[in-house]
Structure 1
Amino acid sequence: MLKLNSGKTDFLIVASPRYRHLISGIVLTIGGTVIEPSTSIRSLGVEIDANLKLNRHVSSLSSSLHFHLSNIARIRPFLDQSACEHAVRALVSSRIDYANSLLCGTSALNVKRLQRAQNRAAKLVFRAKKYDHVTPFLQQLHWLPVEKRITYKILTITYKCLNNSAPNYLRKLLRKHQTARPGLRSSNDPALLAVPRTNTCTGDKSFSSAAPRLWNNLPQNVRTSSSLSQFQKSLKTFLFNT
């Protein structure tokens, strides 16, 4: 008994440029209204384009981050450092971290745009000058750089999958590594995951492929952490040191 609003209905065709010409001219008809495919759609706050590159999402997110940073900068003279840090965490860091696992494998330019916003946020907290080196400020705030925050999110989800605290549809994507050659170093490490073969760059970015690769690169003592909080603490320390 769901009533569809044709004026608010979008659909997206996702395909590589190589095959896009084979699926041109597709339209949907809902309630007498003809709906043509969109170049991008927004789902749960994430803007997805037909190439799954998330460039438009990063552009929109970057604009939002700098908008909030400008607003915080206006009232910065009236805030102490602690209050400013809380404002930045609530309005900027939370947006950088939201659904950031989807950015695995995104372009270096997209990461750079988000990193620029995080750097501006750190300097705002410490009232630093424009050309001051930002690394000491990120370390004092204990903020991982954007690229490592993406890795942190994926590995946290992976740990939850392996400990049955993640949705079943995610747990099904991961398999334990099995080797037919006993005596190898990998055969003595039961915490390793099997890395599936992929033939495309998009496949390499998928959770089922990226998560095992990142997981297997962790030290064994991090992978075998006894609790989620201990894993996150050890993981953050590892990422800071690498």
Structure 2
Amino acid sequence: MSRIMKELTCNYHKFADDTQLRGSEIPEKGSILMADKLEQCEERVKDWMLCNKLKQNDNKTKALKVVTRSQCSRAPGASLGVGDHGIAFKPYVKNLGVYLDSQFSKSRQVSHICSTSYLEIRRVAKIRRFLTKKAATQLVCACVTPHIDYYNSLLAGISTDQLSRIQRVQNSAARVILQKKRRDHVTPLLNHLHWLPVQQRIQYKLGTLAFNYFHGTLPPYLSSKLTKYSPTRSLRSSSQLLLTVPRTKLKISWTKILPISKSLHFGTHFP
């Protein structure tokens, strides 16, 4: 599969039994060509799988078109054609537990964090009177905090409204542990529990990644994306441990997630 994708110059990423194809182009110039390239790559991958007794799980195959709101109407096509079937573009896809939407607004991911966290908070609240403070804290840290911290570095730069939604989740968890009312001021509660607010938790995660980069302990697939800041002339910032902020240019991006399943002799498919 990797050889086929390289021959067609398609960007790809493989994780366990999931394979992703990626590409980006400026909508006015090459979006149609990029769609044709992905369709051709997908067709060849599907043929290769059939020849090797494998079956693509079409029900789990999804496509995502990442564009700005203004570019959405200029990006052609509502689906990618594969053989006699078409893979419609979804408003969002789930990738390793993270929801990615077509505008990268993170709104779907924030909604997922809030819904799953509130469910766990309600469960803890029902049995809170039977728990000690230490047990309640451990339970919340095990069942609620992981939802807030999971891939929270991707939430850097989200809007204040979205950040406030996640902060309210943490506030509710603190009130449940300390058995406080809804209108009680939450800052002393967070200080008492030694919890960083959500914004600081995100900054702490980014700071940890930067620290690992400068000390050579960051994985290569992440460190290769970072560049140490080196000014062209002598500046006071030259001696500081800084990273270069890359310049960005908005393009249309196509992502297709292809879960692969192996066909057994009795016809059952395991994703």
Per the normalisation by structure 1, the TM-score is 0.76
Please list the CA deviations of residues 159-203 of structure 1 after superposition, one character each: whole Å capped at 9, or x if unmatched. Answer: 112222222232122222223433x3223x242233334467xxx
Moved more, 109-118 or 168-177: 168-177
Aligned equivalents of 1:83 and 1:103: distance in 2? 30
2:112 and 2:242 map into 1 onto residues whose CA distance is 37
1:196 and 2:246 aligned: yes
The Cα shift of 1:28 comes to 2.5
Bigger RCO (CA 8 Å, 6+ sep): 2
**1:172-183 alignment to 2 at 5 Å?**
172-182=224-234
CA contact (8 A) 1:47 1:57 kept: yes
Q: CA RMSD in A?
A: 1.7
Moved over 6 A (4+): none
Q: Which residue of 2 aligns with 1:153?
A: 205
Q: Which structure is larger by alpha-carbon Rg, 1 or 2?
A: 2
Tell me, in whole angstroms, the C-alpha distance in 2 between the residues paired with 1:27 and 1:197. Answer: 30
CA distance in 2, matches of 1:174, 1:9: 31
How many angstroms apart in 1 are the aligned matches of 2:94 and 2:249? 28
1:68-104: CA deviation from partner (whole Å, max 9, x where unpaired): 1011000001000000001100111111000111111
Structure 1 contact 68–91 (Cα < 8 Å) conserved: yes
Structure 2: runs of 5+ lacking an equivalent: 1-48, 251-271
Distance in 1 between residues matched to 2:187 and 2:172, nearest whole Å: 12
CA drift at 1:48? 1.0
Percent identity, aligned pairs only, is 40
- In 2, distance between residues paired with 1:60 and 1:11? 20
Residue 236 of structure 2 is aligned to residue 185 of structure 1: yes
Give the Cα separation in 2 of the matches to 1:161 and 1:70: 39
Q: Which has the higher helix share?
A: 1
Structure ranking higher in strand proportion: 2
The CA distance in 2 between the partners of 1:186 and 1:46, in whole Å, is 36
For these two proteins, the number of residue pairs brought into alignment is 198
Residues 196, 43 of structure 1: alpha-carbon distance in 2 compared, 3 angstrom cutoff: closer
Note the residue ranges of structure 1 that are not aligned, 5 or more in a row.
201-242
Aligned counterpart in structure 1 of residue 179 of structure 2, from 96, 104, 127:
127
